[in-house]
Amino acid sequence: MSPTPRAWLRLALTPGIGPVGFLKLIEAFGSADAAVSARPAQTEKLIGREAAEALHGEAAAESVDAALAWSMGEDCHLITLLDEDYPSQLAEAASPPPLLFARGRRELLARPMLAMVGSRAATAQGQRNAGDFASALAAHGYTIVSGLASGIDAAAHQGALAHPASTIAVIGTGIDRVYPASNRQLAHQIAERGLILSEFALGIGPLAGNFPRRNRIIAGLARGCLVVEAGTASGSLISARLAMENNREVMAIPGSIHNPQARGCHRLIKDGARLVESVDEVLDEVGRLSAAPSAPAAAAPPQASPLLDAMGWEPVLADALADAVGLTSGEVYAMLLELELDGRVASVAGGRFQRLAQN
């Protein structure tokens, strides 16, 4: 948090200001404290009367109190643009959100990320492709970013959850809400083993205008954006366009000419997106993270030794390891990620992990 969090939070959480208005106020007054202390007539010139009145009203102070109280919960974080672990890729994007609510494994924000998006009304094959690609890419060390929607988003999250690199869900509601409600269990799993992000104040529902803002964050976080399956009216095309505008790699999986849910992908390919048919082709675009197979394995960090000892030589669940070594699931997943990238453990069927013998 910044040294003066209340003023920063008040600007970030006041309805009608948004990232652009926030920047105008900081540039005009020099700091969040000065902007909040300014007379309403001064701020009105920059953000309009309604937002200026809201900034100086009681509801704004109550939103700050609620956010600070929420941040006292387990694995609940408020992350500002001033924080060292604010995602660097997002900070470089146009109009980055000044505040992020985060629940789960905050350290994932430092990982290389890849966005996977697509249609809510996905075909069964599209959902299988999303899960398979997400699982394979997470096994290569990429944290998969998506929007917790039905269809492609949900399948991508589920595919990545079995790996330590895991997944980040960027949502278009307050972080205390889940939309759609059918993904409530999935959201719980992501909060435990991955990360949920939102720029919206607590209690904010699924308003239509929130989702383009969510898509802006998805595109800004990731090195590249893979559109798995999308019709021409799919909101996932917004993420792809934003990724292009931010000079990110954009890729699309082709489909049948008779499938309307593939036409958005085909349009993207015509517009310059890379046609990909395999995980290897995705990695050719965004880069490979794993060490070469011939590279000698580095010594395991001291804190990983008890974890390796607890694993034995049979496949084991991460939650069972957490109980065995007295760590949280998030801590164990972070260590498993490093061990997987070092070639010391491997993800296997059923969300289990297998210790690998070293030469």
Q: What integer is the mean pLDDT of 269-290?
A: 91
The domain segmentation of the chain, as residue ranges, is: 1-70, 106-286, 306-355
Q: What integer is the mean pLDDT of 103-107?
A: 96
pLDDT in tens, 242-270: 999 988 999 999 998 989 999 999 999 99
Does residue 298 have a pLDDT over 50?
Answer: no
Least confident of 127-141, 196-210, 211-225, 338-352: 338-352
pTM value? 0.81
CATH code given to domain 106-286: 3.40.50.450
Residue 333 confidence (pLDDT): 83
User: Using CA atoms, how far apart are residues 191 and 212, in angstroms rounded to an integer?
Assistant: 23
Which residue type occupies 196?
A: I
* High-pLDDT (> 90) share of the chain, %: 72
Task: Give me the CATH topology for the region 1-70.
Answer: DNA polymerase; domain 1 (1.10.150)
Task: Give me the CATH topology for the region 306-355.
Answer: Arc Repressor Mutant, subunit A (1.10.10)
pLDDT in tens, 132-190: 999 999 999 999 999 999 999 999 999 999 899 999 999 999 999 999 999 999 999 99
Residue 351 confidence (pLDDT): 74
Residue 292 confidence (pLDDT): 34
User: Using CA atoms, how far apart are residues 252 and 165, in angstroms rounded to an integer?
Assistant: 22
Does residue 343 have a pLDDT over 70?
Answer: yes
Q: What integer is the mean pLDDT of 37-41?
A: 92
Can you give the chain as a three-state secondary structure string?
A: CCCCHHHHHHHHHCCCCHHHHHHHHHHHHCCHHHHHHCCHHHHHHHHCHHHHHHHCCHHHHHHHHHHHHHCCCCCEEEEECCCCCCCHHHHCCCCCCCEEEEEECHHHHHCCEEEEECCCCCCHHHHHHHHHHHHHHHHCCCEEEECCCCCHHHHHHHHHCCCCCCEEEECCCCCCCCCCHHHHHHHHHHHHHCEEEECCCCCCCCCCCHHHHHHHHHHHHCCEEEECCCCCCCCHHHHHHHHHHCCCEEEECCCCCCCHHHHHHHHHHHCCCEECCCHHHHHHHHCCCCCCCCCCCCCCCHHHHHHHHHHCCCCEEHHHHHHHHCCCHHHHHHHHHHHHHCCCEEEEHHHEEEECCCC
Residue 301 confidence (pLDDT): 53
Structure confidence at residue 310 as a pLDDT band (50, 70, 90): confident
Owner of token pair 């990724």: 243
**Hey, do 1-70 and 306-355 end up sharing a CATH topology, with the first three levels equal?**
no
Which tokens hold the place of 302? Answer: 């001291």
Residue 1 confidence (pLDDT): 46
Least confident of 28-32, 294-298, 338-342, 352-356: 294-298
Does residue 290 have a pLDDT over 70?
Answer: no
Structure confidence at residue 11 as a pLDDT band (50, 70, 90): very high
Structure confidence at residue 75 as a pLDDT band (50, 70, 90): very high
Residue 102 confidence (pLDDT): 98
Least confident of 120-124, 259-263, 267-271, 327-331: 327-331
Residue 297 confidence (pLDDT): 39
Which residue type occupies 210?
A: N
